[in-house]
Structures are given as structure tokens and as C-alpha cells.
Amino acid sequence: MTEYLIEGGTPIRGSIRASGNKNAALPCLAAALLTDEPVILRNIPDIEDVQVMMEIYTAFGGTAKSIGPNAWRLTLKDIKTSEIPLEQARKIRASILFAGPLLARTGKAVLPPPGGDVIGRRRLDTHFLALTELGAKVKAAGAFIFTAKSLKGADIFLDEASVTATENAVMAAVLAKGETILTNAASEPHVQDLCNMLVSMGARISGIGSNILTITGVQKLSGCDFAIGADFMEVGSFIGLAAATRGELTIEGIKAQDLRPAKLAFGKLGIKWAHEGTTVHVPAKQSMAVNSDLGGMIPKIDDAPWPGFPPDLTSIITVVATQVKGTVLIHEKMFESRMFFVDKLIGMGARIVLCDPHRAVVTGPSRLSGSELQSPDVRAGMAMIIAAMCAEGKSVIRNIYQIERGYEHIVKRLSSLGAKIISK
């Protein structure tokens, strides 16, 4: 399958269950390297990125066996190599998450430059800072080669609240000697999932959910049986899709607390939802009008490290804003090229002024027309699906691999909600 064909103009209706959090599944799969005992992971989404991480895991000599829907048993007694395969590393940025566990268990990790989304420069410096503070040495020779005779706890201040660098540091520190204090750590729900998984394996971590983590190293970790949380990025995407198409949607299996930053941002566009327990309901009737700031000023929606508005939802909320009455400023502060996809929306008829690589002024509602599109990354690809479903006529979206890296069985699930979408 290489492209999606979408006929727009149909509101989605029905109910859907949230998938497991992609950004939790990937580090948790890497963390399975930290023990020679079986690890059972549940609620793992069936997506391309997970398949690539499984391929890397098995390349080290491990086995990954499906034991039910979205559940896997991972076992790796002896690590055969400390080198991450080049082909898989090029496909996925999360390949770097194996560096910490490999260092902790073997004292060495060879990492080819990681691939992933095309959203501008994505620094690796914070990973190097954290791992070298723990005692690793790093050199670049085509690949990045990390070595350490032994890892020792350290007081580390990260130069940015990087999610993957925090995860790498935590996975290395849990088997290091002594205490590690990690300040300016990322605290997103997926980071919390990883930490809670490690605790279930016998790690000693305090401060989970905050920006200061204290890790006391242990000699050995055991296996575990752990279920990751719902993908709040996917939930936010489906909420945006329902609102933009004037549809009605019930999403099950959510964690309402994870949606609080998104609820504030969508509220600025006049979009609301109700939740009860683990279910969210997006009603068909929304005001779909920008709520101005005090004094009638144009409001701003900007992303930030957790608990700020998630950067992965910036693309989604940008396309939703094209269907809302009024003007809003979208400020993407964290990735330098993520907003360039709006050229495609402009070509469909959206009224957007791209001020610079980080800021776009969106005025709606705009009548969108079907178009031929290409997905540059996971979230922009989903934003293009939303735009195509709002548009008059037919659209073609290519490079759908980027979308299927992060959204589980997206064609089947959207079709069940009435979307006119096929893949070929």
C-alpha cells in the first residue's frame, strides 16, 4: 500500500478505542534489553515503528512472541551484538533508545545516525551529555560508538527536557552504581510509563511525573508484566478529526488527565468534549469559533514540554483551525521545520500566513478542495487526512508509511466511523 484515496465531506460518527501510546511502547521495548528474564508488554500498538523496534530487538538475539491482541512476550538471555542494525536505525529515530540499555548490560553501544520524522534538526547532544555523565565515552566514526567499563551514578542537569534523552539516561542509570539525580528531565506520560515499567522490574526511581528523577542503581532487574497507557496523541487527533468534520465521536480507553493540555488548546477554538471514567465524547454541535483573549486580542496556541501543549498535536490543531471561525496564531517552538507542511493546506484553500518556520496565522473557516498530498511525518500525515476529509472532492495522500508508523490500522478504523478512505 503506497497511498490513500479520500473523498471528503462526510462527518465521522461512532465510537473507537484508543490505541496504546506509541511513544511509550518504543522505550518500553528497548527497556526489555535490561533483563535476561521474560518481559510481557500489553497494549502495544500494531504500527510500523513497533515492528522496526522488534526487528532491532531480535537482531540482538532476542525473541518476540505474540501472546494475544497487542500483547508480546520478549526474552533475551544473552546479547549477541551491541551494534544497532543500520537498515532499521535509518527508519526510526527511536533506535537511539537502545543505547542506554546496551551500555548498561554490555558496556558498549554502536548507533548509526537515527532516522525518523522530517521535522528539522533533532539534537542528539543531550543523549551524549547524559550518558557521558554516567561514565560513557563517545566517539563518532560513521556511527556513534558508546563505551563504558562501568556506569556510575551522577548529578545530571539536562540542557533540554528531551524525552528520549531522559529515557536513555534513566535506562542506563537503573543499573549504574550509586545514585543518579536527573534534573530538567522530561515528564510526559510516556516517560512516566517507562519509569513505572522499570519500577515493576525492580528499579528504584522516585519523582516519577516530575522534572527531577532520582534513580538508585540496582545490580539486576527482573522480568515484568506491564501494560502501557493510551496514546493521547492519537486521541487528540481523533478529537480534532471529529470537530473538523462536524462529526460526533466517542473514544474509549482514554486517560482524561493526559488530555488536559489539549483541552485548553482546543477550547480556544471553541471545541469541547466531555469525559466519564475512561471515555471521551465529542459532540456534533460545537461553537467552532475562536475565543479571543482579553481585550479582543488574537489568541495563541503554542507547544511546550509537558505539561504544556504537546508538539505532536501542533499539526493537528493547525488544520482544525482552518475550519473554525476567527484568527489564531499557532506557535511551534520545539521543531524548526514542522510547520512547513502548511504549504499543502494553503494549496487546498486554507487561509494561512506562515510567518517563519515556527509561527503560522490561521484564519477560518476555509473551504478546502481535494488535492494530491505527501506526508512528511507521522502527525502532519494525520493532519492531511483530516484536511482531506474536510475538503470538497477527492484527495490522494502519498508516503503513507510515515502515517502508519504512528497510527494503528488507520484506514480500517476510520472506515468504521464512516470515512470514505481506501488504501492502494
Instruction: Report the residue count for the chain.
Output: 424
Q: Could you tell me which residues are beta bridge partners of residue 329?
A: 300, 361
Residue 295 makes CB contacts below 8 A (sequence gap 6+) with: none
Rounded distance, CA 240 to CA 380, Å? 13
Buried b (16+ CB within 10 A) or exposed e, 73-108: bbbbeebeebbbbeebbebbbbbbbbbbbbbbbbbb
Q: Which of 117, 231, 258, 312 is catalytic?
A: 117
Instruction: Count other Cβ atoms within 10 Å, centred on residue 285.
Output: 8
Question: 258 an active-site residue?
Answer: no
Sign, CA dihedral 186-85-335-21, equals: negative
74: closest CA among 15, 104, 44, 29? 29
Residue 330: DSSP 8-state: E
Rounded CA separation 398/342 (Å) = 16
Angle at the Cα of 95 from the Cα atoms of 113 and 240, rounded to 5 degrees: 110
Of the candidates 73, 91, 92, 86, which has an alpha carbon nearest to the alpha carbon of residue 23? 92
Q: What is the CA radius of gyration of the chain?
A: 21
Name residues whose C-beta falls within 8 Å of residue 331's C-beta, 6 or more positions apart in sequence: 300, 301, 302, 303, 358, 359
Distance of CA 347 to the CA centre of its chain: 27
Q: Using omega within 30 degrees of 0 as the cis cutoff, is the peptide bond preceding 101 cis? A: no
Contacts of residue 409, defined as CB under 8 A and 6 or more positions apart, other chains included, come to 46
Q: How far apart are the two ends of the chain, measured CA to CA in Å? A: 5
Q: Where are the beta strands (DSSP E) in 76-183?
A: 108-111, 137-141, 143-147, 155-157, 179-183
CA distance 227 to 44: 8
Determine the Cα–Cα distance for residues 108 and 222; give it in Å rounded to an integer: 21
Residue 397's nearest CA partner among 345, 362, 352, 360 is: 345
Catalogue the active-site residues.
Answer: 117
